[in-house]
Amino acid sequence: MDEVITENIPVIDQENQQKFLEIAIRRLIRKLDRRLLPYLYLLELASYIIRTNIGHATLMGINDDLHLSQSQSEWAVSLYFLAYLIFEMPNILLMRYLGPARYLPLSMLAWGGITIGMAFVKNAQALLPLRFFLGIAQAGYFPSIIIYISLWYRKRDHTMRIGIIYSAAIISEALSSIMAYGFSKMNNVGSLQGWQWMFLFEGLPMIPLGIITGLFLSNIPDTVQWLNIAEKHLLTNILRNDTIITNNPDAHVSWKQILHVFTDRHIYLYALISMGNLGIIKYLSTSLPSIVQDMGSSSENVHLMTAPPYVFAFLACLLVNYSASRNNEHGFHLIFGLSFALLGFILTITLNSQSHTALYISSCITCCGVFSAFPVLLSWATKNVDGHTKKPVTLSFIIGIGQLGGIILPLTNDNKPTRGRNDYICLGALAASLFFTIILRISLMIENRRRSKLSPDEYNNETSIKEPCDWHPDIRYAL
C-alpha cells in the first residue's frame, strides 16, 4: 500500500476554526443588512408619514373645511389609537398565521386605500370611520416588522437593527413636516385643498409599494435566491442555536404560549413602561405643530420648525441604540432616555414664561429622550421573550397598551391656557415609566440569580413545563 503523505496538509485548530466562523457570520450579517434594512426602512418611513399626518392636516384647515367641532377633531385622533389597541392582537395572530411576508403587503394595500379615501371626505361622519379603519389596518404593521427582523437576525443583533428601523419613524416626522409645508402651498390647486393633496400623495404610493413588497419579502431564508447554499445553512444554524425550541415549533398559533403572555409579570412591566413612553411620543407627534405655532411661528413656517426636533431625535436614537447594542445593555440605556425626556419637560415647565427659544430647545431635549428610549424597550423585550407565538403576542400587547397614551390625548387639550397642565401630565407619565424600568431591571436580575441557584429537582421541574419559552431555567435575561 502506498504511503499517504500528510505532512504538507494544513491543520486548522479549533481556535482558527472559530475565527473563520466569526468572519463568515459577520459577512453574512452585512449581506442581510444590505438586502433587508434599506427596504424595511422605506416601509417604516411610509407607514409613519401616514400615521401622523392628521396633526398637519389640522394646521392646513381640515377642521374648518369639514366643519369639525373640537370634540370631533379630538376623536379623529383618538379613534385611530383606539382601533390600534383593540385590533393589535387579532392582527398579530393573523400575521402569525399568514407570515409577515404575506401580512405586510396586505396591510399596506389596506391603509394605502384608506388614506386615499380620506382625501375625499366631506364631513366628520366620513372622516371618523376612516380614521378608525386606518388604525385597524396599521395595528399589526410595526410589530410585524420587528418579528420579521427576528426571523433573520440573532438576538444580539436585534437592538441596533430595531433602532435603525425605528429611526425611520423619527425621520418621517421631519420629512412629513417638510412635505406638509409644500402641500400647504397647494390650496385650491385642482379644486382640492392642501390636506387633500397630502392624503393623496401619501396614500397612492402605498398601492404599488404593497404589491412590490408581496413579491420581494420572503418568510424564511431557505426560499430566497440571494443567499447561496452555504449562507442558508449558516444562517439556519446560528438562528437555531440562538433560540429555545419549543415542544410545538410547527404550529401556527400556540394557545399555551398566549396564556404564558398574560401570566408573565415581566410583560406587564414592559407594557406599563410602553404606556408612558409611547403616550408621550403620540402626544408630541400630534401636538408639536400646535406647540410650535404658539411660540409665534406662522401656520406655514410651523411645518418647517417642527422638523429640527425630529432630526436631533433621529441622531440620538442611533447613538443610544448603538451603545445599547455594543454593550448588550438595555435597562440603563432606557433609564437614560426617559430621564433625558423628563429633563426636557422639567425645563419646559420651568421656562414656560421665558423666551420661545428656550422652550424650543426643551422640546428638542424631550424628543431626543422619548424617541431614543422606545426602540431600546422593544429590543429588550424581543431579546428576553422567546417562543414562536409568545414573542409576537407580547410585542402586540406592549405596543397595544402603549396606544392608551393616544386614546387619552383629548385630556391634553392643545389650547395654550391648558399647556401647563399637559406638561405635568406628561411629566407624571414619564416618571412612572422610569420607576417601572428600574423595577423591571431589578426583577430580571433577581430571576437570573434564582435560576443560577436551582437545585437538581427544581431544575427538572422547570424544564418539564410544556413550551417553556423564556421560562426555561437555562435562559438568562438580558439586562
DSSP at 225:
S
Architecture of the domain defined by 16-243: Up-down Bundle (1.20)
Pick from 408, 422, 387: which is nearest to 247 by CA? 387
- Cα–Cα distance between 444 and 325 in angstroms, integer? 18
Q: Angle at which helices 229-242 and 14-51 pack, to 10 degrees?
A: 80
User: Does the pLDDT at position 2 exceed 90?
Assistant: no
Q: How confident is the model at residue 363 (pLDDT cuts 50, 70, 90)?
A: confident
pLDDT averaged over every residue in the chain: 84
Q: What is the CA radius of gyration of the chain?
A: 24
Show me where the domains of the chain are located: 16-243, 253-478
- Cα–Cα distance between 298 and 78 in angstroms, integer? 26
Q: Which grid coordinates belong to 19?
A: 475565527
Which of the residue ranges 25-34, 251-260, 284-293, 363-372 would you say has the lowest mean pLDDT? 284-293
Q: Which grid coordinates belong to 403?
A: 396606544
Q: pLDDT tens across 81-135, in order? A: 888 888 988 998 888 888 888 899 999 999 899 999 999 999 989 999 999 999 8
Same CATH topology for 16-243 and 253-478: the answer is: yes
Q: pLDDT tens across 36-73, in order? A: 899 899 888 888 888 778 877 887 888 888 888 888 88
Which of the residue ranges 18-22, 51-55, 248-252, 434-438 would you say has the lowest mean pLDDT? 248-252
pLDDT at residue 185 in the model: 83
pLDDT at residue 330 in the model: 94
What is the total residue count of the chain? 479
CB 114, CB 16: distance < 8 Å? no
Q: How confident is the model at residue 450 (pLDDT cuts 50, 70, 90)?
A: very high
CB 142, CB 165: distance < 8 Å? no
CATH number of the 253-478 domain: 1.20.1250.20
Residue 24 CB-half CA count within 13 A: 16
Measured in whole angstroms, how far is the alpha carbon of residue 282 from the centre of its chain?
12
Q: Given phi > 0 = left and psi -120 to 50 = alpha, else beta, which region is 387?
A: left
DSSP at 209:
H
pLDDT at residue 76 in the model: 85
User: Does the pLDDT at position 8 exceed 60?
Assistant: no
Pick from 461, 425, 366, 443: which is nearest to 170 by CA? 366
pLDDT at residue 183 in the model: 86
Range of 296-305, 372-381, 383-392 with top mean pLDDT: 372-381
pLDDT at residue 250 in the model: 47
Q: What is the mean pLDDT of residues 399-414?
A: 66
User: Does the pLDDT at position 406 exceed 70?
Assistant: no
Percent of the chain clearing pLDDT 90 (strictly above): 27
